[in-house]
Structures are given as structure tokens and as C-alpha cells.
Structure 1
Amino acid sequence: MRIDIMTLFPDSVDAMMQTSIIGRGQQRGHILIKSHQIRDYTTNKQMQVDDYPYGGGRGAVMQADPLYRCWAHIKEEAGMEKSRTIFMSPCGRTFDQTVARELKDSYDHLILICGHYEGIDQRFIDECVDEELSMGDFVLTGGEIPAMAVADAICRMVPGVLPDAECFMEESHWDGLLEHPQYSRPEQWHGRSVPEVLLSGHHGNVAAWRKKESYKRTMIRRPDLFAKFDETTLTTKAERKILQQAKEEVAQENKT
């Protein structure tokens, strides 16, 4: 998986994308994340990338030509067929785990464009952008944080970046549920104890407890997510029993 990020602040992007798990994934050759300074593709001495908006109004708009030159260079350099260009924008569809999996499975190459000021020239979007993605119903000062979030969410699922698929398949949102609570040493902390089942060494009971707590947490914290959960995917009696126990416990807690 290769991801190119078009930005006015490549140093900020590199500082994050070249460290920790994602950085090690790049060092091992499983992924490649490159940042590109859009100003390098200007044709004026001032390296100007923005100008006043037609029609008036406050702020400035990023110009189409520097963006296009940068984009064209990336396309030529990468030379990858399964490529998709994405503009990080509050006007796009909301990015979530399902979208992350879709992009990881469908493309080998992503170009992420970070806008600034009042946005970017619509003509560049019309000509070069395949889709727009949003982090949610809010606005940031630039697209770098959303672009890094998208890159991180996708790249951590690329084989070899994490030790195995279980590392991300058991996390929140993978199967439409929130992840169960986690605990570490010591067993007692500030008068609070680790649940006994996690100390039992019984892998079956631990797995059942974690699944039940995942159901409960989703029901309580994100009823909108749980409403989308397809119970018909539970094919065994044991799985259906765990779900029923979770529902009963949540109902009891609501009464108290």
C-alpha cells in the first residue's frame, strides 16, 4: 500500500507518519507514505498557492494549477493502476472503519489532498478528485490531521504492519461493535479489582466475557451502532446466549 499526501506542511505529516507502528511498517517495506510540499509545484517566485475567491468573500482559495502539478507528478511517479484520489473535506462522506476496509481492499495507492484556507478550486476537484472524505460534522484548519487519520486507519490493516490480523479484528468497529474493557497489572488499583474471569486462565470464559461486555458497551454507549447489528450473524446457540445475557444485564442495570 502506497499513500501520497499533498500538503503545505510535510514536516508535520512526516513527524507522525514516520514514527511508532506506522513508521516501523514503512521501515519493513509493508507500506509507503510520502508527503509532498504543494508549494514546490508553483511557477512564481513567491511560491504562492492561493488567491482571492471569485465572487468576493473572506479568506483565500487554493489554486488549481499547483495542486494539479503536484498531483500529476505523484501519478507519474507512482505509476499504479489501482489508485484513488481523495480530498479531505467536511463536504465528503463520513470516514469510518467500513470505509477504511473498503479503501484498503480496493486500492493499492491513495492520494490524499489536504486543503487550507477556504478550500480548493472546484475545477481541480472536478478534474482530478475521485471522492471527498470527512472526519465528521466539524471543520478543522487544514486537512493534515484527517489525512493522517485515514492513512493510519488503513495502513494498520495492511499485512505485516501489526503482528497479526487479530490485533485489529478484535477492536472497536471491526464487526460493528465497541471493544470490551481492557485491564493490566496490578490486580488491585485504588480499590478497584480486575474482573475475576480475566484471572481464571479459562480461555473460553474469557472470550465469552469479552464478547458480552462488547455487546453491553455498544448497547449503552452507542445504541445507534447496536441498532445496526445483525443478530442473524450469530450462528451458534452459545453466541445467541451471550447476546441474551448482555441484554438482560443492561436491562437490569437500567432499572437500578
Structure 2
Amino acid sequence: MEITDLQFWGAVFQIIAIDIALGADNAVVIALACRNLPENRRNQGIFWGMAGAIGIRVLLVFFALQLLALPYLRIVGAFLLVWIGIKLLLPEPATRESGSIVKGGAATLPSVIKTIIVADTVMSLDNVMGIAGAARDSLALVIFGLLFSVPIIIWGSKLVMKWIERFPVIVIMGAGLLGWIAGGLLTTDVVSREWVDTQAAYLHWLAPLGCSLLVIGIGKWLTTRILKRTSVTADLLGKD
């Protein structure tokens, strides 16, 4: 396709629409992962997390069709997203300082970057497929699509982090979103798609809903246990 072709610009607008529509999920994950970092390290977390995620996306572009044809790939991805969703709901681990318990010492840049890359890789399969399809074998358009998604996700993640500070319930909603996406992956894997479509179409909405509630339920339960254990430890230290 030439830059003067109407088809070229049609593909450009399709790619932009795909990036805007699907970039929100990735922005939420980055915001949830970076929220526990110190203020002065959040930009580093966003930058290096996105850098690693973009590198993975480039590889996915060349292997997307083959990867999506692999059985159980989406199912494994679904379990990864459930685990990440639960993990992102947990409170910051406490650290002991001068005989007292202090919150907020645990989120490290490498762990945040790893979380972002893993989650983004799982969630980007459909995004990459959409870009590759819209680009119609044009490597220049594929690269454009990947690069265009970067500012959208970075800007979106910073915006969500600001919202989280004012509305903490967004953390629960974001974790639930990961569960919802995981449920969708379970019903669209190579080994499950045909059976679900013909025998249990209701699972297309029930599985996402169930996984969303599962992530939130387990995350809140573990959070309660962690906070209770932290409180008991703090009481024991106080008595000492």
C-alpha cells in the first residue's frame, strides 16, 4: 500500500481505533502495578514496563497466528491474569522499622516491571492480531500501530493512577477487569471455543463474570488475612 492510497489511510484509522479501544485495559494494569511504587519511581516503572511490553508485542506480531493456534495458550493466559489480578489487590507488604510495622516498603521496580510485561503480553494477543490484520502485511503500519499505542497507554495509566488516589474502589474494578478478560480467554481457546459456541454459549458471559468475582473474592479474603496478621504483629511489637 502506498501512502497516497485511500486503503492505506483506512488501515491507519483502523489501527488507531484498535489502539484506543484495547489500550484502556493495559493502562489499568500498569496503573495498578505502579501505584505502590514511590512517587519518584512511578515514571520509571511505566517506562520500563512499556519498553518490555512493546518488545514482546513486536515478537507477537511475527508469531501471532501460530501462537493463537496453539491449544491451551489462552487457558494458561487466563490463569496468569487471575493470579495477577489477585496479586494487584493485595496491600503493600509491611516492613519492620525501629520496632514498628511500616506500610509501603515492598513494591520494587523489577517486580512491577515483570508484572506489567506478563499481564500486557497475555492481554495483547488480540490487540496485536487486530493491528496485524488491519495493517494488511504492511510492516510500516504494524510498527506505527505498536508505537501509537505507547502514548495512549502511558497517558491512560497516569490518569488512572490519579483516579486511584481519589477513588480507591478503582483498584477493585481493575482487578475485576482482569478476571473478566481471563474468563473471555477461557472460552475462546482452541480447545474450548467450538464446544462453548455450540453447547454452552452462555459461558461467554458467565465465565468472565465468574472469574471477575473469583479474583475480587480471593483478593479481598487474602487482604483481610494479611491486614489481620499485620495488626497482630504490630500489637505484639507494641507490647515488647
TM-score tier after normalising by the smaller chain length: under 0.3
Superposition TM-score, scaled by structure 1 size: 0.24
Superposition TM-score, scaled by structure 2 size: 0.26
Bigger strand fraction: 1
